Amino acid sequence: MAAGPAAPRVLNVNVGVLGHIDSGKTALARALSTTGSTAAFDRAPQSRARGITLDLGFSCLRTALPPQLGPGPGELQFTLVDCPGHASLIRTIIGGAQIIDLMMLVIDVTKGMQTQSAECLVIGQIACQKMVVVLNKIDLLPEGKRQSAIEKMTKKMQKTLENTKFCGCPVVAVAAKPGGPEAPESENPLGVSELIEVLKSQAYLPSRDPSGNFLMAVDHCFSIKGQGTVMTGTVLSGSVSLGDNVEIPALKVTKKVKSMQMFHTPVTYAMQGDRVGICVTQFDPKLLERGLICTPESLHTIHAAIISLKKIQYFRGALQTKAKFHITVGHETVMGRVMFFSPAPADFNKEIQEKVFDFEKDYLYQEEYLSKDSNSSEENKENDQSEVQLPRQQWALLEFEKPVTCPKLCLVIGSKLDTDIHANTCRLAFHGVLLQGMEDKNYMETFLPKLKVYKLKHKEGQVERVMDDYSVIGRSLFKKETNIQIFVGLKVKLSTGEDGIIDGGFGQSGKFKIRIPVASTCMPCIELSAQGPAWHLRAYSSPFHCLMD
C-alpha cells in the first residue's frame, strides 16, 4: 500500500519585536500575525488597564517557504515575540531576547532612537545575528513631506548602526495601526506586506539540535479545568514528546506530558527553537509564572559561578571588583557581587577558551575589568606607557544573593537596573557565558580554594652589599619575623637593570640573599624591588601562596 503524502514541513523562526515604549510594537505584531497565542496582544488584564505591554506576548505569521530555505513544499512560521518597551521591564526584555533568531527594532519615526531603543539594540547585538529596523507610525507624518522624512530617518538609523554587527540591515517604513489605537479596524496597515517580504528575505535556517537534555523557558502558566496545567514557552535545547516526564526545578516536582499544542494545533513532538504549550497533570499555575522545565535531574541550582565576560561598550564608568550588579540568567534576575580576574600578563594574547575554564592555570586578580577607559589603563598612560595591553579574555566570579537554576554555557547579562530610568544612559554593563556553577552552599570552603587567583604585590628594598659577581645581600623588604623561605624563587629587579632571584634568608634580621644569573656590577645601597603574585581570593582566610614567576 502506497504511503500518503508527507505533511509539508514547517520551519519556525523566532522574531523578537523590540523597541521603546509606545513605538507600536504590539500593534505591529497584531498587523503581522495570522494566529495569536494565549499570551498575545496584551491579553493580560494589567496590560489592558495600563495600556502598555507588561510581559512577553507571542503570536505567529505563516507564509510560503522562500526559495533560499530549500526546495519542496513547506511553510515558514515566524513566531513573533512582543517584548515590553518600558524601562522598568528590562528583565523581561532580556529574557525574551535570549529566545530569538531575528530581531525587529521598532522605531517611532517621529521620535527616532530613544533610551530603550538603544538598550534593545545592545541586547540584540548580544543575543541574535540579524535585524530589521521598522520605522513605525509613518501615518503621523504630513503626506507631502512623508517620503523625505522617511529617507532622512532611514539615513540616521543607518549611521547609528554603522559600527554594530547590524551595519547595512534593511530599514522598512510602516504604519501598523493608522490613526492610532482608537482608530477603527477598517483602517488598513501601511507597508506591512513589504515588511513581510523583507522578513522572508532575512529568514535563515537556524541551528536546531533535537539531541541532548530537554530544556524549555516557560513564560506563561495557566490551568484548564478537567485537563491540567499548561506551561507555554520556547524549547531552548533537546526535544520533548507526549508521555515524557519533565521536571519543574523551582517546585522540585516531576510531571508527565499529557498533551501539546503549537498555536492551537495539537502536536506529539517539539524540539529546540519551537514555541509550544505543554499540558501536564494539575498544579497551581501561580507557583510558576515563569522559569525553566527540563529532563529530570538535568539542571542544577547554583550559589556562585565563573563566567567569561565582555564589557558592553555603551556602559559608562568602570566595572569594579566587589560591586553589585543585577545578574540576569535566563528568565531569572538576581543581585550578585563580582570579582574580576584575567590571565597573567604573559598570557594576555593566548587563544580564547570559549566553553571551558581551566582550573590548573594561575590567574591575576583585577580591581576592575580591564578596558581602554579603566583606571589602570589611565595610570599606564600617565606613566608614558602609550600602548596599553589588554587581555583577549577576562573572567569574573559571580556570587548570587539567592541561588539560581540554570544550564551551563547559558548567557549571563549584568546590569545596573537601579539607575534612574529617565537618565539617558545604558544600564547594561556586561555580558558573558556561564562556564562553571557552584552548587555547594559552602563553596567558599569546598570550591574556591581550587581557583588560583593571585594578586601582584610590589615592595622596594635596598642592596646592602655585594657578595660576589653573582650574588648580593638585600634588606628592608621583610620583617625579621618573616619566614623568607616562602619567598624563595621570586624575581627581584635591581635599579641598574639586572634580574635576580631570592635565594634564601641571610642572618636573623630579615636580610636575604639574591642570586643574579649574570655577573653584576652593582654597588651597595642600590634600590631594588621584589615583585611576585601573592595568592588572593577575595577576603577569605586562606593559606598564603607564592607563584614562581
Cβ-based neighbour number of residue 259 at 10 Å: 16
pTM: 0.75
Residue 519: is its pLDDT beyond 60? no
Find cell 509539508 and name the residue: 8
Instruction: Return the percentage of the chain with pLDDT > 70, whole number.
Output: 81
If we measure between CA atoms, which residue out of 41, 31, 23 comes closest to residue 81? 41
User: Does residue 341 contact residue 396 with C-beta atoms inside 8 Å?
Assistant: yes
Q: How many CA atoms within 13 Å lie on the side-chain side of 412?
A: 35
User: Does residue 281 contact residue 231 with C-beta atoms inside 8 Å?
Assistant: no
Residue 515: is its pLDDT beyond 70? yes
Lowest mean pLDDT: which of 47-61, 369-383, 498-512?
47-61
Q: Which amino acid is at 108?
A: D
DSSP string across 529-546: EEEEEEE--TT------B
- The dihedral region occupied by 330, where left means phi > 0, alpha psi between -120 and 50, and beta the remainder, is left
Residue 172: is its pLDDT beyond 90? yes
Provide the pLDDT for residue 149.
96
pLDDT band at 93 (very low <50, low <70, confident <90, very high): low
CB burial of residue 445 (10 Å; 0-12, 13-18, 19+): exposed
Residue 542: is its pLDDT beyond 90? no
Average pLDDT, the chain: 82
Provide the pLDDT for residue 387.
63
pLDDT, tens digit, for every residue of 40-57? 434 444 333 333 333 456
Find cell 599606564 and name the residue: 380
- Please give the sequence-ordered ranges of beta strands (E in DSSP) within 312-351, or none if there are none: 324-329, 332-343
pLDDT, tens digit, for every residue of 305-336? 999 999 998 898 899 999 999 998 866 889 99
Cβ-based neighbour number of residue 34 at 10 Å: 12
Provide the pLDDT for residue 47.
38
Could you give the CA distance from residue 265 to residue 30 in angstroms, rounded to a whole number? 19
Residue 496 is placed in which grid cell? 641598574
User: Does residue 276 contact residue 260 with C-beta atoms inside 8 Å?
Assistant: yes
Residue 52 is placed in which grid cell? 502598555
Residue 81: is its pLDDT beyond 90? no
